[in-house]
Amino acid sequence: MEYPVWQLSAFGGGFWIIVIAVLHVFVAHFAVGGGLFLVMTERRARKLGSQPMLDYLHRHTRFFLLLTMVFGGLSGVGIWLTISVLAPQATLLLVRTFAWGWATEWAFFAGEIAVLLVYYYGFDRLDPKTHLRVGFFYFLFAFLSLFTVNGIIDFMLTPGQWPVTLDFWDGFFNPTFWPALVLRLALGLLLAGLFGFATALGIPDADTRENVLRASLRWVVASAPVLLMSGWWYVGVLPPAVRDFVLRRSSEIAASRMAYPLLLVAVAVGSLALVSQLPLKVRRALAVLLLLLGLGIVGVFETVREAARKPWLVYGQIWSTDIRPSQAAPYDAPFLPRAKFAKVKLVTPQNGKQAGRELYAMQCLGCHSVGGPFKDIRDYTAHVGAAGIEAYLTGQGKLFTQMPPFLGSPEERAALAAYLAEDVNGRKPVPAKPANVAPAEVALPPFEATTAPYLLIGCNSLGVVAMAGCDGSFSLAVPGNTLNAVLIKRDVMPEVVTKDVTIAYEAPEGFKHPAKRLDFWKHAVTLSGRTLEPDVSTTGLRPDGVMTAGDKLFSAAGVPVSPYPDTGGVNPYPVFTLTAKDAKTGETLAVTKAVAPVSTEMRCFTCHGGSFAVDGETGVSGATAGSILALHDKRNGTDLAARAAAGGPVACQGCHPSESPNAGLAPRDGKDMLSLSAAIHGFHASYLSGENPKACGNCHPTAPDGVTQAQRDNHSAAGIGCVRCHGYMEDHALSLLVHEKAAGKKAAAWLMAPLAPRSVATVADVRPRAAWTQEPDCLTCHKDFTLPGKHATAFNTWTEDAAGLFRNRKEDTGNIPCAACHGSPHATFVAANGYGLDINNIPAMQYMGFPGVIGSSKRCDVCHTVEMQGGEVHHPNMERE
């Protein structure tokens, strides 16, 4: 914000830091250990009186001087140049905080240079004792230089008490000072041995060569275990959050963390091989390989140290964007007006791409390149469009803190997302294309109000059963609708009939073989743990069958239904025929039809890439599912993607319990896991915070231009969306997470931390609820069964248990289910979408000839055979209907 940005789009800042810093650290540590190597080798040579060894040491000193002083000095200057232009504010903090420390280190470095020059040029001029003293003073200066720099460098990761005291010594002797000092010294000694291998192989005298090689081996073998133990010590003193990130939560660090001990073992084994009687050419090649492995050890350690700091340059003080948190608050305030060198100050439709380019330079370019070899931004964003990138930016730095939060207004966030999607990735926006939806004709069974002895009403327990449709990768829910039916014997006082009758259900033509187009049955054993015949659900039902009688209700729980007809295409609203018969005589008593809505319309590809799987309208594609599983593996350390690729898809509810009526499976693992609803909503809420109610349609099949149009009831027609009952995404997630937290689920607190409710003042005001068993109570808005107020909301008032749910509730006399007269949840009468009135209002259209609540408009004659004289038998205020 305070400084101009060095434009390095092809490489990004991180590339140059890695190249220059790792090479400099490699040489600088050799400068320390190599100094002691000079002294000890000279001492040995003079003790043995070996002139060939002294001649070797003189040549080695010349190489040492050129590499450490010339290249080391220039690369050190290169680091200062690079960090000062890439992160000027962080550099300034280090200079101001440790001004005298840097001055002291530069004094030690100057001493290094002077003494090393004396050591080299005095090799044949100084007497042995004086020359050894000079060599020892070189090592002392080199060690003191390392001592000083070590305190400053490790301050960046573990500032300790410095943020509170601002005391030089608190920052210098920070928590990682001593383990880092031991590790760096041991690393220098190991590198001294490796460079000793490389230069010793040029000694002409075989005995002297083998003598120096064996001595170099001792340096390597002695240093390797110290490096291993000090590395563990280093990680052990990290703050708990950083240590957890290093050991468990960072996939970037995981490879380096595993490589560190492997490289140490490889170096030790290679060193032992090098001193064996291998041909000289092979040994020289092996010496070069060992130096590269040593460079790898340096690179791995520096990678872990740098990555462990993320999202900070100086932990807790300056983000990797070179911005202080104190400068950025409030985070959602416009950023560009606060950036001194931004050319664009206000985002408009005309300058959106330019604004996005500036935002990228200021908040992304410090780490990411565009088409470069390191952290190419296209690798992270090319698979999604602007909407997906915008969601990533919304959630950035909230749950996974290796990146700082995006700073800026929603308009700026959209501008950056559009720039990345369109200019960087070449993904031009595709105009929304309405799904191919055509009104369906439903042949309603006849009903004669004056003569019909029975009335049969059917309904689905859910407004729509949602599946992912990617069972070859994972399953969110199994195929299984619950159809309910009420048989009423019409009379002066009608009677609900459940004895001595049977009610059969029958799928329409084209929907009798769902296994033809759904992959669930191919993977049923893996997903459900049982062998299922094609077209048989986990509850043992087929598309045609007989309902089970219950309390005033017949039910078929788990009817396998597919949104894909055998003939092709998509139809989320197959209409089943229900037939009631006398159990003794087989006489047909009544016939009706009921829709069994089912959908696979989930737009996961918006953020996870891929596309719809079927007809460009519905279904999670294999590419999208694979991306979801890979991300789950990355964030949770699982192996779901590999299992799915090997033919073992996963059932999400196999670990995450779900009380959904069509979940179909009991959890087999993970009893301490969040419920499936809490896990999904809780995770995604951080990425969808601040969205409007239309955001629900990104995941649920409620988009008005989608193939399902599941939000089709009278509430929708009145403009009452999801949030009036369930709350905004943050509210909805918090209500589930608060319940899970109270149940002792540890992940709940983590997911809750970034969220703030929008419908109530604080998290403490959010009432907990169990997914699927505690839902908004209808009577919160419809108090005493009256019309709701203009701004009434049911959020935060939940049913006590599953018995109070609309789909399970009965009217006051306990005879008629509410859904029988009012329609299914999310499809209450009058319900309408692109599939027509008959599809959505079958009972009303069959028995009254018009859409509406059964019995509305004084149509008591639907059930009663005489004219009723008023009264509110079913529930209060019903006569107004």
pLDDT for position 881: 47
Q: How many CB atoms lie within 10 A of CB 330?
A: 6
Q: 37 and 193 in contact (C-beta within 8 Å)?
A: yes
Quote the tokens at residue 387.
């909407």
Q: 40 and 60 in contact (C-beta within 8 Å)?
A: no
Contacts of 106 (CB under 8 A, 6+ apart): none
Q: How many CB atoms lie within 10 A of CB 255?
A: 12
Which residues, listed in sequence order, are joined to residue 618 by a DSSP beta bridge? 614
598-599 vs 465-466, strand pairing mode: parallel
Quote the tokens at residue 860.
């008591």
**Burial class of residue 625, CB neighbours in 10 A (0-12, 13-18, 19+):** buried
Q: How many CB atoms lie within 10 A of CB 26?
A: 24
Run of H or E residues at 579: strand 575-582
Q: How many CB atoms lie within 10 A of CB 575?
A: 21
Quote the tokens at residue 627.
């991306």
d(CA 354, CA 419): 8
pLDDT for position 85: 86
pLDDT for position 688: 93
454-599 topology per CATH = Immunoglobulin-like (2.60.40)
Quote the tokens at residue 632.
């789950």
Run of H or E residues at 251: helix 251-274
Q: Secondary structure of 584-652 in the HEC alphabet?
A: CCCCEEEEEEEECCEECCCCCHHHHCCCEEECCCEEECHHHHHHHHHHHHHHHCCCHHHHHHCCCCEEH
Task: Concatenate the DSSP letters of all residues of 305-323 into one string.
Answer: HHHHHTTEEETTTEETTS-
d(CA 214, CA 450): 110
Q: Could you identify the residue written with the tokens 């609900």?
A: 496
Q: Could you identify the residue written with the tokens 């749910």?
A: 805
**The architecture CATH gives domain 330-424:** Orthogonal Bundle (1.10)
In the chain, where the domains are located:
12-319, 330-424, 454-599
Q: Tell me the CA distances in angstroms from 626 to 239, 251, 561, 640, one per residue in order.
A: 35, 18, 25, 9
pLDDT for position 880: 56
Q: 465 and 480 in contact (C-beta within 8 Å)?
A: yes
CATH code at 12-319:
1.20.1630
Q: How many residues does the chain have?
A: 881
d(CA 470, CA 463): 21
Blockwise average pLDDT, block size 10, the chain, 881 residues = 76 78 94 96 93 94 94 91 89 94 95 95 93 96 96 95 95 96 97 96 93 95 95 93 85 86 95 91 95 95 90 93 88 91 92 94 89 88 94 94 93 96 91 84 90 94 91 92 94 92 97 95 90 94 96 93 94 96 96 96 94 94 95 90 94 86 58 90 94 86 92 87 90 96 94 95 95 90 82 89 88 82 91 91 93 87 81 69 47
Quote the tokens at residue 355.
């604004």
* Angle at which helices 206-236 and 177-200 cross, to 10°: 160
Angle at 555 between CA 600 and CA 855, to 5 degrees: 95
d(CA 89, CA 325): 12
pLDDT for position 440: 86
Quote the tokens at residue 458.
């059917």
Q: Does the predicted TM-score (pTM) go above 0.75?
A: yes
**Burial class of residue 477, CB neighbours in 10 A (0-12, 13-18, 19+):** buried
